Structure 1
């Protein structure tokens, strides 16, 4: 009899599972995929864009642009992307509150649609300024989507899958980096005449998101807690969960809504003033900063040099670089599979611990590369191993913190803080790494080693585990951590919730 009752539900369950999967894909393809894609495609046409800049200037003035000014223009083209990302991160919180999570992601695509024609026609128009403006616009898009996407997915997923679903943001980032490396090959769009199309290809994932995301549900938590629309929330939950019993989840939403009643959405600077958010903000700042300062970007940047030292022919270096992107994608996929079994803290500890080990070996290999002919190969192995370690923990788990550690009223502001910190650190590393590499030579990775050690220590001693817990349970545990020894503080659940719970 049980089998007879279960059979009619199986096709419907599969359909609802597909809705959640399609939501993940639609949010990711125009979200963190765009971030990784636009981050990596700019590497292939470096020399071509510099030549275009010099030719354009010579056509305008009749004389070539000095080399240091060509480098300055190129630096601006590269750095305008994180600058736009910082602006987008500051916009993400207000947009998520006013428009909702799904509409904010769709709004971010408007910047991509505006940027693509600038890239495509920049060469024909003879304007490197169009490339600069386009990079700024795609940066704004990435800044909005990178902060809203984990929030949207984390609020839409059931608690037993929340970590794995939110982890897909890192999967799409790694996939975007890898796809950008592949499309940037000389055989595809990496040729001297094709770079405008390469940069404009960001339009494709943007259009895919614009076509698919409107068909999928909004975040149930946003609909119920922020908008007070219980019918829309129930409809969204039914599409995302299928025939599952929603009573427990609806009760949790009721508790959250009652606790948030009469409160407005926090502003980013207000997070730093509240003792009740002390542990959450510290975790966000320390681990968010550690993710960008742990040296993963340095490994990517230094890879070409190490590959050359390992006697890989220059024309083959770009294929070896694709392996680095593939390593991060493989590691993040593995992390997504095991995160709900081993937890967030274990993955972060493993990631930072392994990065410390491999970074130490990498430093030793650089110091001894002139003494032993096989040392460059050891250094190359350390690059792949370090990127794998980064993908196991920091790459995906860090992005979940703003979603899981903050309640509904503070979550958008936390995403603004996290995004602003990430883009600022990305800009800082890109600006200072050449000087670090020149000043420290073979010891260039030592500052990053210190950051990895700090990240591991903080995770081990101060970061609470959130695996398998509801947002209410997480908030109650954080309240106990922020107010130890029985000291009184603002309780996360309001009096209405306490009464309803007792009843």
Structure 2
């Protein structure tokens, strides 16, 4: 079906991001040796990727409102391809940072556009599952990169490893020629005939005609209720702020759980846990990548079966407990505690992958009314990348100052706060159409009561 093809192709930037994150995790030591980098410089090299993504996400929503969701993928694929090819011609630290920034800029746009585009083309009963393809592709990319690091890192230049990411980028560029524009974006722009045509392509069978008419009626209803207020005035109104606080809050809590510190610095973390052998560190890292990928597939099913809110509650409980065990395990010496630390990291990854990984992306694509969906998702995604940059930049510095136990205690405390936030503020959007969610937002009822 066309909407599944859309979701798969729109997920490719997630793979690009995941593969890059996994490769930099294994290649960082080689890069540090070649360029003689300090802890501060290596932290900046890793952290400048999410800084570029942060800046891109600030403009991606508005830009996609202007030129369309589908056209954004041409820009994303082209920028990423240029950045990857550049690795073959860069032999300075500053040049390397510029290319990392460019890659981050490309992926930052995709983190807004991909969930937005899929949510606007998917049927409501499959929307959560299809939006989750993006984080699934991300963790698949991480796993494959970890595998590449473990198998061929010593035999190939780190530049060659990054070049592997060029192939999916070109696949996105070519595949985008076959994607339709978002029907909701077309309808909002007054191009109703084109919107109807795209909906017929999404639901081509005769028995879908009733569903198609219902979708058009809902779009018409929402279009009639759009007011003449400016986008920013609506976004920062009481209704818009409720959505914004939820989107930003979830991504803040997702990032300060410490997930990207573990993803980017997994071999370093295992060395702190007394895994001195580099091969053992990389193999343990591959294991993490496998768990991450498998449990994200589990989350793909659970996000529609259990719903968004319950899955988050389970996720924050599981991550709090597993991070607490890491704190205990790294506070003592001995083989038992070393293995307890490793098992606890695996439990954290497993719990995170099926809950905290997909749900913020799904909710971000659902909660904003159409008029502010682009800029609202931009703000949410920008917070994601901003806190990502902060964590990955600060982590190696904190690790060398306060130690691994105290760092993970901070992460564990953050997850406890995430549980409280979810219980208090997160709604349930399972089974609701985007127009039904928008109707609730405009009803002056608190957002947290939706679906409860």
| Fold shared, TM-score > 0.5 on shorter chain | yes
The residue that corresponds to 1:162 in the other structure is 127
How many Å apart are 1:325 and its aligned residue? 1.5
Given that 1:34 and 1:205 are in contact with CA atoms closer than 8 Å, whether structure 2 keeps it comes out as yes
The residue that corresponds to 1:121 in the other structure is 89
The residue that corresponds to 2:346 in the other structure is 384
- 1:130 equivalent in alignment to 2:76: no
Distance 2:437 2:398 in 1: 40
CA gap of 1:290–1:462, structure 2 versus 1, over 3 A, is same
Instruction: Deviation per CA, 1:106-128: give whole Å up to 9, x if none.
Output: 21112112212211222xxx444
CA gap of 1:101–1:195, structure 2 versus 1, over 3 A, is same
User: Which residue of 220, 234, 240 maps to 1:254?
Assistant: 220
Report the TM-score, using the length of structure 2 for normalisation.
0.91
How many Å apart are 1:48 and its aligned residue? 2.3
The residue that corresponds to 2:69 in the other structure is 101
User: Which residue of 246, 260, 267 maps to 1:297?
Assistant: 260
Per the alignment, in what secondary structure is the counterpart of residue 170 of structure 2? helix
Distance 2:374 2:235 in 1: 14
The residue that corresponds to 2:450 in the other structure is none
CA gap of 1:349–1:262, structure 2 versus 1, over 3 A, is same
Instruction: Deviation per CA, 1:347-379: give whole Å up to 9, x if none.
Output: 1111111101111122112223x2x53111111
How many Å apart are 1:306 and its aligned residue? 5.7
Given that 2:84 and 2:163 are in contact with CA atoms closer than 8 Å, whether structure 1 keeps it comes out as yes
CA gap of 1:218–1:337, structure 2 versus 1, over 3 A, is same
The residue that corresponds to 2:248 in the other structure is 285
Given that 1:306 and 1:380 are in contact with CA atoms closer than 8 Å, whether structure 2 keeps it comes out as no
CA RMSD of aligned residues (A): 2.2
Per the alignment, in what secondary structure is the counterpart of residue 330 of structure 2? helix
Determine which structure has greater relative contact order: mean sequence separation of CA pairs < 8 Å that are 6+ residues apart, divided by chain length.
2
The residue that corresponds to 2:35 in the other structure is 53
The residue that corresponds to 2:173 in the other structure is 210
The residue that corresponds to 1:8 in the other structure is none
Instruction: Deviation per CA, 1:230-251: give whole Å up to 9, x if none.
Output: 2211221122222113111111
How many Å apart are 1:479 and its aligned residue? 4.1
Report the TM-score, using the length of structure 1 for normalisation.
0.82
- 1:85 equivalent in alignment to 2:53: yes
- 1:424 equivalent in alignment to 2:389: no
Distance 1:44 1:210 in 2: 27
**Bigger Rg, structure 1 or 2:** 1
Tell me, which stretches of 5 or more residues in structure 1 are unaligned? 1-16, 55-66, 485-503
Given that 1:33 and 1:176 are in contact with CA atoms closer than 8 Å, whether structure 2 keeps it comes out as yes
Given that 1:279 and 1:481 are in contact with CA atoms closer than 8 Å, whether structure 2 keeps it comes out as no
Given that 1:276 and 1:482 are in contact with CA atoms closer than 8 Å, whether structure 2 keeps it comes out as no
The residue that corresponds to 1:20 in the other structure is 3
Instruction: Deviation per CA, 1:366-414: give whole Å up to 9, x if none.
Output: 223x2x5311111111101101111111100101222211111111111
Distance 1:356 1:427 in 2: 22
Q: Give the number of aligned pairs.
A: 441
CA gap of 1:418–1:173, structure 2 versus 1, over 3 A, is same
